Structure formats: C-alpha cells, structure tokens
Amino acid sequence: MDKLNVNGESVNELLQAQAHVWNHIFSFINSMSLQCAIDLDIPDIINKHGKPMPITELIAALPKLHPTKACNIYRLMRILLHSGFFAQQKLGDGAADEGGYVLTDASRLLLKDNPLSAEPLLKSMLDPILVQPWHFLGTWFQNDDRTPFVTAHGKMLWDYCGHDPRVNNSFNEGMASDARLVNSILIDKYKEGFEGLNSVVDVGGGRNTGQGRC
C-alpha cells in the first residue's frame, strides 16, 4: 500500500495524517464524556457498589437516566474505558462475560468524598462560560482585546465572576480543589524543600484553601 500515492504522498502517510487530524477534531469528546459521567454520578455509583459492576446494574442504578437513553450508556462507558477512567474485571468464568466496571486511579480522583477530588476543577474548566472563549481564539488574534474571554463575553474573567455568583463559586471551588491536591503533594512529599519556612500559602481560588504548615 505504501507504494501507492495520491498527489505524491503514500496512502499510508495520508491515512496517518487523516487519523492525526481526526484525533484533534474529536478530542473534545473525551472531556465532554467525562463531564457526562460526573453529571450522572457514575464514578460514585460504581464506588458505592463495592465490586465490579455489570452494565445492567449500572443502568439500573442511574437515578437521573431517562429510560430511552439506557441503551447509550454502554457507548459512553466504552469511551471512558478507552480514556482510562474505568476498567473492566471479569465477573465469572464464562467466555462471553464482558465483566463489570471498576474505578481506576483517575476516576477515584473524581469521587465526591475524596478530600483531594478534582471534580470541582473539571466542572469549572468545562463550564460553557469558560469553554466559549476558545471558540473566539482566532478572532482574538485579529483584535486588540486583552484575552479571548473578553472577546467572548465583553469583560475580563474576574469582572464576569464579580457579577455572576454561580461562575464565581464554580471557579473558586475549582482552583481550591487543585490547590489542595498540589499542596498536599508539595508539603507532605517534599517538605525538605521548604526548610526554614514556617508556612506556605497558595490563595487557592480566593479562599485561602492552599494554606499549609511546613
């Protein structure tokens, strides 16, 4: 196949180039699917189940799921399996047994009761208000606005947050959750790097969440 060519390029090279383009075009599906899983409480439901959870039991345990959408949960979970947010374990010895869903290290970091949960950061960064400026990136390069956020919303992020309590709270919660995780690692694992200091402060989304004793 490599010997065949279209406009001077081998078919194999063209297919690889197309796959590369497709990966970037559709990469948003991974983040949107992950947000969907959080909206449906899938990580917490599987965690509460306490053992590998078959697809039928997962569907039955989703309180927010409309009955007409049940057949699509399998497709959603296939994406999340591929992304590494869930894994499957065999339930029995049958060859046809597809197994039950279990958490991975990544999905455990999204559990609501995890003190280092990254769920608030995910919700904040994927909020439509914060995602919309990326659609204006090309326009921003052609004007004199300070940031793409200004191009999309007409004001700076901080000004917008000052007038929208929901976005402000979401952003602060997201930044604070990220600070908790980072500071836990820095302070607990690399304490020797802070010798001579009495305290370290990361404002953590305006809530002083990142403060820790050395």
The per-residue pLDDT for range 106-117, each reduced to its tens digit, is 999 999 999 999
User: Whose CA is closest to 36, among 56, 14, 64, 15?
Assistant: 64
Is there a single domain that holds both residue 199 and residue 148?
yes
Is there a single domain that holds both residue 150 and residue 97?
no
More reliable by pLDDT, 13 or 152: 152
Which pLDDT value is given to residue 179?
85
Is there a single domain that holds both residue 101 and residue 12?
yes
Tell me the percentage of the chain whose pLDDT exceeds 90.
Answer: 71
Predicted TM-score (pTM) of the model is: 0.82
Which pLDDT value is given to residue 95?
52
Is residue 15 assigned to a domain? yes
Is there a single domain that holds both residue 9 and residue 101?
yes
Domain boundary among 87, 108, 129: 108
Our count of domains for the chain comes to 2
88 has a pLDDT exceeding 80? yes
Q: What is the mean pLDDT of residues 35-63?
A: 96
Distances (CA, A) of 90 to 17, 58, 74: 37, 15, 16
Is there a single domain that holds both residue 64 and residue 144?
no
Is there a single domain that holds both residue 104 and residue 155?
no
Which CATH number characterizes residue 167's domain? 3.40.50.150
Is residue 113 assigned to a domain? no
Which pLDDT value is given to residue 23?
95
Is there a single domain that holds both residue 151 and residue 187?
yes
Is residue 185 assigned to a domain? yes
Q: What is the pLDDT of residues 93-138, one digit of tens each?
A: 665 567 899 999 999 999 999 999 999 999 999 999 999 999 999 9
> Per the structure block, which two tokens stand in for 59?
């569907």
Confidence at 181, pLDDT banded by 50, 70, 90: confident
Is there a single domain that holds both residue 35 and residue 92?
yes
193 has a pLDDT exceeding 80? no
Is there a single domain that holds both residue 102 and residue 129?
no
Is there a single domain that holds both residue 101 and residue 14?
yes
Structural domain boundaries enclosing 188: 119-213
- Residue 32 makes CB contacts below 8 A (sequence gap 6+) with 126
Is residue 114 assigned to a domain? no
Which pLDDT value is given to residue 1?
45
Calpha distance 213→188 (Å, rounded): 10
Is there a single domain that holds both residue 175 and residue 206?
yes
59 has a pLDDT exceeding 90? yes
- Residue 35 makes CB contacts below 8 A (sequence gap 6+) with 122, 123, 126
Domain boundary among 84, 108, 132: 108
Is there a single domain that holds both residue 54 and residue 148?
no
Is residue 189 assigned to a domain? yes
